[in-house]
Amino acid sequence: MKRYWVLALVAAFTALSACVPQGHTPPPAVAPGQPAAYPEINLVKKVAITTDTEGGSARPEIVATTDRVFVVYLGNISNGGNRFFALKIFDKELSYTIASKTLVPTTSQYGGPTDIRMASDGQYLYAFYETHKPISPKNASTYLWGVKYTLDDNFERVAYTAVPIVSSKPMAELEDGGELLDDPAPLVGPDSIFVITRLKYPLTVAGKTIYRVREFDKGLRQVRRQFDLDLSSVADGRGRVNSLLFHDSTIYIALATTVSSQGVMESNDDGALSDIILVRLRADWTLDPQRGAQPLSAEPSDRENYVSGFDSDGNAFYIAYKQSVGSPPAGEQRAWIKVYDKDFNIIQTEMVKTTIWGPSGGGIRPSLEVSGNRVFSGQSSGEGIGQGNAEVYVYEIVE
């Protein structure tokens, strides 16, 4: 029953999406002299995070306050095994750097940093990240960590997990049901912090969609609870990179769902045709039976994945993700921002950047932060995480 319901929704939305042109699509027009009915985002500037002399950078995550922009990124990516997570604090216009520091270095015990995701409650920044330690070409370990910083010019680390939250193996070495620690998704709740990882199952339509949820107190002192969130009743295939938002007593999760088992490549999360859906959960993490799931983006014959940005300004919802068209070495990877109204009807589509396929599926993995009248999107070069310099794209919200 579920399969037919999902397919019907996807088919209907695909028909609508086919009418939407690629690139920048502005909000619906209004009569002359009338106020704009919807917000529109317009590109203001692009700011490079590093230069080649700094070793390059990738996968920037952003948190903004009224007068500061905090950018955490994977640094020194061009110098082999000495990567680190680093911070740069900018003024609100990103005109100059106020402070910078190294946050997480490569160590012999736990290896080098790979992926980091962040969230904020307005006073503190919470980050969950993965480190990866190669032991041999066919034997490696991955580790999940959590940390909390003050959102000021000192950027003081006030809490952290002294030992890994959990350890696991890279995707290629995991059996079905194994836990993937890359791209952990954070969620700030009313009085706790959540981190969501994915369990490995086949990418095919028949694969299970299960996420693992851990709830921490805001001091990261203990795991209050841990449970598996099974969304197989509304989504298909292995759980992929996702983003969550707590809004009006509802947990929203935007995720990719497999829509075809054709040409599946299990070595890469881009390896099956997929669309993006929205799932509404009640505050107790159970499915909302009244509203359930709905399509957000369902363009045919592509892979919509890496839903790595989700935010709201109270008037609209903003989602950032990657679209893969074609297959390596041909085809493109495209970074999108899409804007939705309160009922998740599409308002605007913005193709932030496009690049040819890089050496890895995560060559593009956009982040997103909405603060005041600005939208910030962190972008990698798209050349893989071994080269290039990350950028922040700054958009202005025009009502």
**Cα–Cα distance for residue pair 192/121, rounded to 1 Å:** 10
DSSP string, 136-203: ETTEEEEEEEEEEEESSTT--EEEE-SS-SEEE--GGGPPTTPEEEEEEEEEE-SS-EEEEEEE---S
**Cα–Cα distance for residue pair 354/364, rounded to 1 Å:** 9
Q: What percent of the chain has pLDDT over 70?
A: 89
Looking at residue 135, what is its pLDDT? 78
Looking at residue 335, what is its pLDDT? 95
Looking at residue 28, what is its pLDDT? 60
Owner of token pair 């299990």: 266
Tens digits of residue pLDDT in 198-240: 999 999 999 999 999 999 999 999 999 999 999 999 999 999 9
Phi-psi region for residue 315, left (φ > 0), alpha (ψ -120 to 50) or beta?
Answer: alpha
Looking at residue 31, what is its pLDDT? 47
Strands 139-150 and 124-136, bridge-based pairing: antiparallel
DSSP string, 321-381: EEEEES-TTSSEEEEEEEEE-TT--EEEEEEEEEEE--SSGGG-----EEETTEEEEEE--
**Cα–Cα distance for residue pair 332/382, rounded to 1 Å:** 10
Tens digits of residue pLDDT in 342-368: 999 999 999 999 988 765 555 789 999
Owner of token pair 């989602």: 319
Per-residue pLDDT for 167 more than 70? yes
Looking at residue 268, what is its pLDDT? 78
**Cα–Cα distance for residue pair 62/34, rounded to 1 Å:** 35
Looking at residue 332, what is its pLDDT? 87
Domains in the chain, CATH or no CATH each? 2-398 (2.120.10.10)
If you compute the radius of gyration of the chain from its CA atoms, what whole number of angstroms results? 20
Instruction: Say if residues 243 and 183 touch (Cβ distance below 8 Å).
Output: no
Looking at residue 359, what is its pLDDT? 58
Tens digits of residue pLDDT in 289-329: 888 799 999 988 899 999 999 999 999 999 999 999 887 66
Residue 387 binned pLDDT confidence (cut-offs 50, 70, 90): confident
Q: What letter would DSSP give residue 25?
A: B
Number of H helices, E strands in the chain: 1, 25
Instruction: Say if residues 390 and 77 touch (Cβ distance below 8 Å).
Output: no
Looking at residue 101, what is its pLDDT? 96
Distance of CA 308 to the CA centre of its chain: 1
- State whether the Cα torsion 8-11-14-16 is positive or negative: negative
Per-residue pLDDT for 34 more than 60? no
Looking at residue 286, what is its pLDDT? 96
Among residues 131, 51, 129, 141, the alpha carbon closest in space to that of 83 is found at 131
Looking at residue 8, what is its pLDDT? 41
* Residue 237 neighbours by CB under 8 Å, 6+ apart: 201, 202, 203, 204, 205, 207, 209, 257, 258, 272, 274
Strands 166-168 and 157-160, bridge-based pairing: unpaired
Looking at residue 327, what is its pLDDT? 73
Residue 14 binned pLDDT confidence (cut-offs 50, 70, 90): very low
- State whether the Cα torsion 319-22-115-139 is positive or negative: positive
Residue 12 binned pLDDT confidence (cut-offs 50, 70, 90): very low
Per-residue pLDDT for 188 more than 80? yes
Q: How many other β-carbons are positioned within 10 Å of the β-carbon of residue 90?
A: 21
**Mean pLDDT across the stretch 244-261?**
96
The neighbouring-strand residues paired with 167 are: 143
AA identity, residue 257: T
Mean pLDDT of all residues belonging to the chain: 89
Least confident among 9-18, 39-48, 247-256, 315-324: 9-18
CB environment 326-364: b (16+ within 10 A), e (fewer): eebeeeebbbbbbbbeeebebbbbbebbbbebbeebbbb
Looking at residue 27, what is its pLDDT? 63
Instruction: Say if residues 73 and 381 touch (Cβ distance below 8 Å).
Output: no
Least confident among 124-128, 171-175, 179-183: 171-175
Among residues 54, 59, 55, 56, the alpha carbon closest in space to that of 72 is found at 59
Per-residue pLDDT for 284 more than 70? yes
Least confident among 17-31, 180-194, 341-355, 373-387: 17-31
Owner of token pair 């060559």: 363
Q: At CA 59, angle to CA 262 and CA 389, rounded to 5?
A: 115
Per-residue pLDDT for 5 more than 70? no
**Cα–Cα distance for residue pair 239/225, rounded to 1 Å:** 21
